[in-house]
Amino acid sequence: MSSKGVIQLYRKFVIPCYKQYPLVMARGKGANVWDIKGKKYLDFFPGWAVSGLGHAPPEVVAAIKKQSKIILHIPNNYYNRLQGKLAERLSRISFGGKCFFCNSGTEANEAAIKLARLYGGLPSSGRDGRKSHRYEIISMENSFHGRTLATLTLTGQKKVKEGFAPLPEGFKIVPFNNLKAVQNAITKKTVAIFLEPIQGEGGINIAKRDYLLSLRRLCDRKKILLIFDEVQTGMGRTGKFFCYQNFGVVPDVMTLAKSLGGGFPIGALIAKKEIADLMVPGTHASTFGGSPLACSAALAVLETIEREHLLRNTKKMGKYLEKKLENLKRKYPFIKEIRGMGLMLGVELKIPGQKIVEKALKKGLLINCTQEKVLRIMPPLIVKKKEIDQAISILDKSLKSL
Ligand SMILES: Cc1ncc(COP(=O)(O)O)c(C=O)c1O
């Protein structure tokens, strides 16, 4: 079928939730994808951070192949060996908590909201010993946490909420990196502070270490949960398994998805044991969550990151890419700032960036533009120097042709 034919099928039968380029992608390998006509693209925004190990990572493909011959799905009213193993691995490399598995970042955040509300139902330490139900969650301007009603309410961007009122109660949004604003927003009903350590959709905005340290202290003092959404920053993206490890600030709850399954859908919530145990049978569930197939993919991702020393590669290649982007900044005065961590980099422009994305795409490089003026560049953790050089050369030409 031709590109035109596929696009026509979409026009007729697919609900148009997405802005799409007139491009039909057909296959991928490593840092490259090919469209249906055979044109090759260097993918520096693979799967919106899903394909962290690149496209069709052989270890993940082999694991899925092997597991698919054994059993695809086991419902959660029985035990499955791989779910236990994956939970153990995630717990060991993070902060020693317990896991709940689902299928996406939104679902992981929805689970975190529900867990926070269960935590808020615990008897308060008030002298009368009465239950005072705490349910308010404070989140950040420009954050992104998902598209269900609760997670879009948690999200600090107006555009995702438009048309969906009435929204659920109990959410407050404050400016990011502003401790005073959080302090002022706390009430007797506050149960959690929810944030991305680096805002992705928001424009690669990095939390200040002092800010996170202060939030940690504030949460400890007031028995408020600190929840990190690491859906985009997790799984090695910033040069550590989890972004919070760069700051030395440990959350009570963390959510993961995107590259956790190397392209296979899986989301996870990890919570400190005493908090996690508030979720008892009947409080939450996911039919597909933590299937043996999804867990085999995620285990292969974790093993590959370790065996191939991909955290080291991420740091090294991240520095190299950042240096090359800084060179472009010196050349083009409309580049305002280069920022990020590891292989999660943003190029803030003084002008709209979508044209640059389109020019780069025509020349065979896939990147993204968020918040109108921030180019998001997130190559896979396996990226090589020569691929970075190639991407920079295309970006340079695209900027020059403006
Ligand atoms: C930080 C963050 N949280 C949550 C989500 C939602 O994840 P999903 O699209 O898998 O539901 C995203 C998606 O971009 C994200 O970047």
Locate tokens 């999200």: which residue?
155
Maximal C-alpha separation, the chain? 71
The residue whose C-alpha atom lies closest to atom 4 belonging to ligand 1 is 145
Task: Return the ∠ at Cα 164 (arms to 158 and 169), rounded to 5°.
Answer: 80
225 with 213, same domain: the answer is: yes
Q: Give yes or no for a contact between 95 and 250, defined as CB atoms under 8 angstroms apart.
A: yes
**Which residues, 6 or more positions from 60, have their beta carbon under 8 angstroms from its beta carbon?**
53, 261, 262, 263, 264, 297, 300, 301, 304
**Domain region containing 302:** 71-307
pLDDT attached to residue 130: 52
Ligand 1 pocket, residues with Cβ under 6 angstroms: 48, 104-106, 109, 144-146, 196, 200-201, 229, 231-232, 257
113 with 218, same domain: the answer is: yes
**Percentage of the chain lying above the pLDDT 70 cut:** 98
pLDDT confidence bin for 402, thresholds 50/70/90: confident
Q: Classify residue 65: in a domain, yes or no.
A: no
Most ligand 1 atoms within 8 A of CB, residue of 109, 255, 258, 288 to mutate: 258
Q: Give me ligand 1 centre to Cα 232, in Å.
A: 7
Q: Would you say the pTM of this structure is higher than 0.75?
A: yes
100 with 86, same domain: the answer is: yes
Per-residue pLDDT reduced to its tens digit, 336-387 = 999 999 999 999 999 999 999 999 999 999 999 999 999 999 999 999 999 9
Domains of the chain: total: 2
Helix (H, G, I), strand (E, B) or coil at 54: coil
227 with 335, same domain: the answer is: no
148 with 39, same domain: the answer is: no
Q: Give me ligand 1 centre to Cα 187, in Å.
A: 28
Domain termination residue (choose one: 307, 334, 366) = 307
pLDDT attached to residue 125: 47
Is 328 a residue whose pLDDT tops 90?
A: yes
Which ligand 1 atom is nearest residue 196's CA?
Answer: 1
Domain termination residue (choose one: 270, 285, 307) = 307
Per-residue pLDDT reduced to its tens digit, 177-224 = 999 999 999 999 999 999 999 999 999 999 999 999 999 999 999 999
Q: Tell me the CATH number at 381.
A: 3.90.1150.10
pLDDT confidence bin for 131, thresholds 50/70/90: low
149 with 128, same domain: the answer is: yes
Q: Classify residue 61: in a domain, yes or no.
A: no
128, two tokens: 């009368």
Domain termination residue (choose one: 256, 275, 307) = 307
101 with 141, same domain: the answer is: yes
Q: Classify residue 26: in a domain, yes or no.
A: yes
Q: What is the 3-state secondary structure (H, E, C) of 66-123?
A: HHHCCCCCCCCCCCCHHHHHHHHHHHHHCCCCEEEEECCHHHHHHHHHHHHHHHHCCC
Task: Return the ∠ at Cα 153 (arms to 133 and 178), rounded to 5°.
Answer: 85
User: Could you say which DSSP state residue 55 is in?
Assistant: B
Q: Tell me the CATH number at 239.
A: 3.40.640.10
Q: Give me ligand 1 centre to Cα 231, in Å.
A: 6
Helix (H, G, I), strand (E, B) or coil at 373: coil
Per-residue pLDDT reduced to its tens digit, 245-260 = 999 999 999 999 999 9
286 with 384, same domain: the answer is: no
